[in-house]
Amino acid sequence: MYDFYYYSNPASAAKTYKNILVISTMDNTTNKRIKRVGRNMNYHLTFFEDVFPPIRKYTDNEITTTCEKMGIDAIIYYTYLGSTASSSSSQTYGNIYLPPTGGVGRVSSTTTTKTSKFIEMDISFVKFSDRNNKEFYVTGGYGPQYSVNVGVELFRKTLKNLKKQNIALPLSDEEMKAFSEQNEVNEKLQEEENLKRQKYAEFEENGNKNFANKKYAEAIDDFNKVIEIDPNNVQAYFTRARAKSALNDSKGSIEDNNKVIELDPNFSMAYNNRGWDNYLLKNYIEALKDFNKAIELEPRNYVAYDSRQETKFALNDFAGCLEDCNIAISLNPKLANSYFFRGKVYFKNGDKTKACENWSKAGQYGTMEAYELIKQNCN
């Protein structure tokens, strides 16, 4: 027994949807059987996990690009009511690939049931190119709980409703045969792509671990491989730049941060890090431009204020340096480097008492060099 509610779209006409992506939170046994239902009813269904194996998270752009290449027309969301499609696995369906909310048209129901005896469901059918266009949306349930047979039957009824309302019609035998032949080619390509993704995940994980363990050369090698697989991976360029900078390869780091900014012009820390490499190369004016941009994009980026203060100090702009020190400390009261430079500015201005107080704070929070200045100037 099951209860089935559905929203109909009175304005819908027969569609040409032929290649449908299914996003499901059902168990593997149910998914295998609803795949068979789709084939038997001459619907060509592609399941998300078959294209995007649950080995890592995927971005909206990755999903959209892949689906466009596959010629996906529409999406069926088959999920437990109130759940997200990524709730039980390590993968993600992207921010725009979660089940939509709110149906279209009127809801009708002929059966009254006790909710506690039924597993509530969301089933929605949306146009791939426009996730706001809900051609068909269901909120319903089935029972008894944990019954695979009922779950399969509910999916079968979903396809019947799509056909009944002329939303997505079954394919001809010739069309199914053509899809089957194309699937053989796609499966081989998909196997290669999945292997790449698995390698990508391994290299990315190793790269992050090596960077965290200060094995910078090894991290660079790992991120080289990540970028070879995914030439537009922003995070890989960003972390590789940090590793290069740690090995004093400031020019190489700037080159990688240039790529980060090309791919993501709003990446505040990429501007900050490029500015720091310019500072190390004594390109102070270029460094200031980068720090200014980092702060423009993220006004509470205390790291950028901390970096800019050193550049201003190098340019003898002591008033500007003091201002940045004050802002950085207000954003992070334990920022040792800002106390250190604020102490240097106060010392330059002849205020030895405040200089020593700030160097004491700098030493307390981890800048050991401050104690040398205290030893030389504060006793």
CATH of the domain at 186: 1.25.40.10
Please tell me the predicted confidence (pLDDT) of residue 259: 95
Range of the domain at 100: 2-171
Give the residue with greater pLDDT, 362 vs 98: 362
Separation of alpha carbons 215 and 195, rounded Å: 26
In a domain, residue 318? The reply is: no
Identify whether residues 37 and 24 lie together within a single domain: yes
Distances (CA, A) of 366 to 313, 331, 335, 370, 374: 21, 18, 9, 9, 14
Please tell me the predicted confidence (pLDDT) of residue 91: 53
Separation of alpha carbons 141 and 166, rounded Å: 23
Q: What angle do CA 131, 134, 140 make, to 5 degrees?
A: 120
Identify whether residues 185 and 94 lie together within a single domain: no
Identify whether residues 27 and 158 lie together within a single domain: yes
In a domain, residue 123? The reply is: yes
- Kindly report, residue by residue over 72-86, the tens digit of the pLDDT: 888 888 877 655 544
CATH number of the structural domain spanning residue 74: 3.40.50
Last residue of one domain, picked from the residues 171, 189, 215: 171
| Number of domains composing the chain | 2
Separation of alpha carbons 242 and 273, rounded Å: 8
Contacts of 32 (CB under 8 A, 6+ apart): none
Identify whether residues 120 and 227 lie together within a single domain: no
Separation of alpha carbons 31 and 88, rounded Å: 15
In a domain, residue 335? The reply is: no
- Kindly report, residue by residue over 61-71, the tens digit of the pLDDT: 888 888 888 88
Separation of alpha carbons 24 and 41, rounded Å: 18
Q: What is the number of residues in the chain?
A: 379
Identify whether residues 216 and 119 lie together within a single domain: no
In a domain, residue 258? The reply is: yes
Query: Is there a contact between 121 and 81 (Cβ–Cβ < 8 Å)?
Result: yes
Identify whether residues 27 and 48 lie together within a single domain: yes
Last residue of one domain, picked from the residues 171, 189, 214: 171
Identify whether residues 190 and 244 lie together within a single domain: yes
For residue 100, the 8-state DSSP code is P
For the cut 80, the answer to whether the pLDDT of residue 261 exceeds it is yes
- Kindly report, residue by residue over 1-10, the tens digit of the pLDDT: 444 555 555 5
In a domain, residue 124? The reply is: yes
With 0-12 / 13-18 / 19 or more C-beta atoms within 10 angstroms meaning exposed / middle / buried, residue 253 is buried
Please tell me the predicted confidence (pLDDT) of residue 111: 46
Q: How far apart are the first and last CA of the chain?
A: 87
For the cut 70, the answer to whether the pLDDT of residue 39 exceeds it is yes
Identify whether residues 59 and 14 lie together within a single domain: yes
Please tell me the predicted confidence (pLDDT) of residue 163: 83
For the cut 80, the answer to whether the pLDDT of residue 141 exceeds it is no
What does the block give as tokens for 267?
């990446």
Give the residue with greater pLDDT, 351 vs 188: 351
In a domain, residue 159? The reply is: yes
Structure pTM?
0.54
In a domain, residue 61? The reply is: yes
- Kindly report, residue by residue over 112-126, the tens digit of the pLDDT: 444 444 556 677 888
Last residue of one domain, picked from the residues 117, 141, 171: 171
Please tell me the predicted confidence (pLDDT) of residue 11: 54
Give the residue with greater pLDDT, 327 vs 59: 327
Span 269-287, average pLDDT: 96
Choose the weakest-confidence range: 42-56, 275-289, 315-329: 42-56
